A and B are shown apart, each in its own frame.
Chain A
Amino acid sequence: MGTASDIKLIDENNIRLDGRGPDELRPIKIETNVLNRADGSSFIEWGGNKIMVAVYGPREAYPKHNQDINKAIVKARYNMAAFSVDERKRPGPDRRSVEISKVVSEALEAAIMVELFPRAQIDVFIEVLQADAGTRIAGLTAASVAVASAGIPMRDMVVGCTAGKVGNKIVLDLSKEEDNFGQADLPMGILPKSDRIVLMQMDGDLSVEEFEQATSMIMKATKRIAQIQREALTKKYEIQQKEQGE
């Protein structure tokens, strides 16, 4: 994380560069069934992030020696489009996307009832079309919606959010500048019904109290985000029910 002491990320009134208060989320919008071929799909706009997610499966794992006779393998593939970032990115996975793919796969697997699908694989393709900080948890949040829309059984949804430290204050949902020039970054993925943590990474400098503050902020915010996920799934059906009920 770089430092730029001439950028004031948060002022004396706790207002951030983009005008938000410390525990305000950027605007989030989620749509489902945006793709035709995939078994499930979703599209999320979170701040300036635009991310498309597609789910295929469960289907037989390939090659055969990868099959686990006890459960399905969850394979998330996080990828950034060449035009998604300021400096055009060469297509293809780099070490960062491989790591993100791994932790996101593991987070989803905690929720998906993989034991119902021995020998199978569930592929989750997360394509970042435009990046604006927090892509891995935005991708995870959208992925949970896509998996649910594919009719894959889960114990709970998975919701992601970040918190961090800028100007020595704990803030929710880091923006790009805050991610680049702030003092700490804590992305988390949780199961909202039980508050169980299924994804957590951190870099920077946080005291234990600051960590508690950040976590509490995230846990509260994930309830709001879980509601947005619910509406994304149910909206179209509830409207139909209302129309036909008349």
Chain B
Amino acid sequence: MPKDALGVLSEIKKSFITKQIKEGRRGDGRKPDEYRELRIQTNYVPRANGSALVELGKTKILVGVKIDAGEPFPDTPNLGVFTTNVELLPMAFPTFESGPPNEMSIEVARVVDRGIRESKMVDFEKLVIEPGKKVWVVFVDINVLDYDGNLFDACSYGAVAALKTAVVPGSKYGGKDTQLPINNTPVSVTIVKLDDVMVCDPDLEEEQMSTTRVTITTTEDGHIRAMQKGDLGYFELDEIRKAIKMSSDTGSIIREKYLK
């Protein structure tokens, strides 16, 4: 795709944000650890087994969960199957093109998946229909509809909310419909560095300006379940410690307010 004005970081915007940061504020007036307005609507696609529409600032994500019977993986014959896919729809940004997943969508999908899988959020042992032969397969399909930064967190919140409200269609095979068995609620927090200041939930311009980013997923017990450092640039170890604390603190607030 040819260059689009939105894809090119504005020098004026950059110096405006830098000036604000020096005074402890961000471009839109937020504090460093403040999230944009977050809205999650579950069951947005009633015919899917679970779904959630997430609006994080102007970033908009739709997650659909489909659950169907299938074969287990050969090396885990007594566990259900779970798979995550992210589509960066061309409608979300002028330079997004249709086509097979690119490295950006694959990284987001794998990081979201890791956060959920390593938290043991979904009880895979309870998803067996016939040991070794038939298990429930959970497809999490994440569609990015509108892009204004921080796909990692928006996609993760959508996936978690959709899974928490998902129904296993047991009635399709002569049984009963049941809630997807859930153990806990992992929360992902993404932090980027603007010069030396660490800020949570970057919008698009902050992402474009940042020197590096880290996404950390924690569970209710305060333990770290998944981490991903991305983009160019580097962190000092102290900064990572700070990021872990930010993630755990902010994560608790988000869990309490939006993902109960």
Contacts and interface: CB of A to CB of B under 8 A. Distances in A.
Interface of A: 35-38, 41, 48, 50, 52-54, 56, 59-60, 62, 77, 79, 81-84, 86-88, 91-93, 123, 125, 127, 129-130, 132
Given A81-B143, A91-B141, 4 more contacts: A54-B91, A56-B94, A79-B89, A82-B85
B145 A35 contact: yes
A130 B48 contact: yes
B234 to A, nearest CB: 31
B82 interface: no
Nearest to A91: B87
Contact of A36 (B85, B87, B146): B146
Contacts, number: 91
Interface of B: 1-2, 4, 6, 44-48, 51, 58, 60, 62, 64-66, 68, 85, 87, 89-94, 98, 100, 139, 141, 143, 145-148
A230 to B, nearest CB: 24
Given A83-B48, A129-B45, A88 B146 contact: no
B45 A84 contact: yes
A132 to B, nearest CB: 8
B100 A92 contact: yes
Nearest to B65: A83
Nearest to B147: A37
A127 B146 contact: no
A54 B89 CA distance: 10
B90 A123 contact: yes
Contacts of A37: 6, 58, 91-94, 146-148
A125 B91 contact: yes
A184 to B, nearest CB: 26
A57 to B, nearest CB: 9
A56 B89 CA distance: 13
